[in-house]
Amino acid sequence: MKAKSTAISALQERVFIILKGKKLFLQSTKLSVKELKDAIYVSNALRNWFDVAKDYASFVDDFSGYKPNPIPDWAYEPVYCSWYPYEDNINEKIIWENARIAKEVGIGTFLIDAGWNTERRGEWSWIDGRYGDYIPCSSKFPDFKGLIKRMQRELGLKVEVWFAPFWLGSESETYKKGLKEARCKVLEGGERVDNINLCPQNPLTIKRIEEIVRYFFEELGVDGVWVDFVDSLPWECSAQHEHIYQTIGEGATACLERLYKTAISIRPDAVIEYRIFHGNLNTKRFLNVQETTDTPHNYDDNRRLGVYVRAFAKGVVVKTDPTMWSAKCPPEEVAKHCATMIMGGVPAFSLDLPSLPQSHLKILSAYLSFYKKHRDALLKGNFRPLTALPSFPINIIEVRESFLYIGYEAVPPITIPDGCEELYIFNCTERDTLSFPFKGMEKFKKMVVYNEYLEEIKESTLSPKESLFSVSVPIGGMVRLTR
């Protein structure tokens, strides 16, 4: 945030002190890593909110002694997720058929989402459901371990499984066999009411989480886990059972640390993935991939959340929520999904692949090839939103190879830095023409236009005096400018 220096001076006189340069904290905080206290971060630097948010995140990282976790190379592989087209109605046939096509189009990681461990009963979040055992459902997966091994060995995929570490439904065997007493209770109208979550403050919970993670990596042989619904924990627990941690937050932090350390001790190149609500500046010590959150059908929302995540995600891999579309989706819209994904971080898809027409697979394959070829530049270049519009429809990634995403017709003047040798511009608008003032356009000599299949359709030479970029580009297509 920005504030005028006079306002800051006034605040300083009352409740603020300067700790470091232009960063101010409430005097009462006396910052300590062992205590939780409210503070307000203020910057009077003339920078946009995205850079200030990144500065704030770096300040907290430095203060808390954050050190990034190892990131295996496979964490950057495009991801397939089974959730949106099938929800918990998955089985061995569905997973294998999708895995086979996923591999063909360029996916490297396959996430088997919720439903691998229970029958389909629509019970996936029910307190009296069967979640919590994390044993493969034999009627749907007669040989789950064998399936994972085949996906790894025959298809060369990395395999992750979904789990919600604290959930324990009352129909689960784990609940019946003794963990009943470890569940949280919350106060409602003066009554203690059961909650679906194991209590993070109770000593049985941290042991149970370690047991599940050991089973995943040692028995099932998975490569990574997708950690879900930590954000469903209650604010406090009123159960009359033992608490070895003072608060839900302290207990949850200890459990997540155990989860991460157990996984890494068994698989040093494991991927541990959270989504936005429980992946934050506190918990990023215990993960290496950070996702947005559920935005099915809506890549605009996915992109918006991705920009927020990027601001706070130094040291971790940013991944988008898997995007989805149906077999009836027009090709240009499929291409816009794909362009949005590759500009958002590690691209992820949740599709009924066997039902899609060849045209869709061709577009997906082309965009994933593009992603792989330019992966380092896309993920490690300097990402900036170029407008303050809430959906961040115009973004750039700057490095020697730069990438400009345009999802809105009113484009502000674009300035390309001197070091940029090549510029790729994605047309994700509703129109087949891109037009905007372009400072530095004279640096580029050649232009190639691609359609939504990323096939070259036109090549031309640029005039050195041009300063307005105005080019016909198919919707979902791309332009490449070179010097």
Q: Please give the helix or strand (H or E) that residue 440 lies within, else none.
A: none
| Least distance to Zn ion, CB of residue 234, Å | 9
Shortest Å, Cβ 227 to Zn ion: 20
Smallest gap from Cβ 236 to Zn ion, in A, equals 8
Minimum Å gap between C-beta 287 and Zn ion is 24
Q: Which is nearer to Zn ion, 229 or 403 (CB)?
A: 229
Q: Are 454 and 370 in contact (CB under 8 A)?
A: yes
Q: Is the dihedral of CA 437, 440, 445, 446 positive or negative?
A: negative
CB of 193 to Zn ion, least distance (A): 13
Structural contact between residues 243 and 196, judged by C-beta atoms closer than 8 angstroms: no
In the chain, the amino acid numbered 259 is L
C-alpha dihedral sign at 347, 358, 103, 83: positive
Residue 94 or 199: which CB sits closer to Zn ion? 199
Nearer to Zn ion by Cβ, of 179 and 338: the residue is 179
Binding residues vs Zn ion (CB under 5 A):
199, 201, 237, 239
CB of 169 to Zn ion, least distance (A): 17
**Dist. CA 124–CA 114, nearest whole Å:** 8
Task: For residue 350, give the DSSP letter.
Answer: -
> Smaller CB distance to Zn ion: residue 78 or 251?
251
Written as six digits, the tokens of 333 are 């819209």
Distance CA 198, CA 169 (A): 10
Q: Closer to Zn ion at the Cβ: 184 or 441?
A: 184
The Cα 277–Cα 229 span in angstroms is: 9
CA distance 115 to 83: 9
Please tell me whether residue 280 adopts helix, strand or coil conformation. Answer: coil
Our CB check for Zn ion shows the closer of 197 and 283 to be 197
Which neighbouring-strand residues pair with 415? Answer: 439
Angstrom distance (rounded) from CA 159 to CA 148: 7
Q: Which is nearer to Zn ion, 243 or 314 (CB)?
A: 243
Reduced to 3 states (helix: H, G, I; strand: E, B; else coil), residue 50 is helix
User: What's the min distance (Å) between Cβ of 124 and Zn ion?
Assistant: 23
Q: Give the number of residues written for the chain.
A: 483
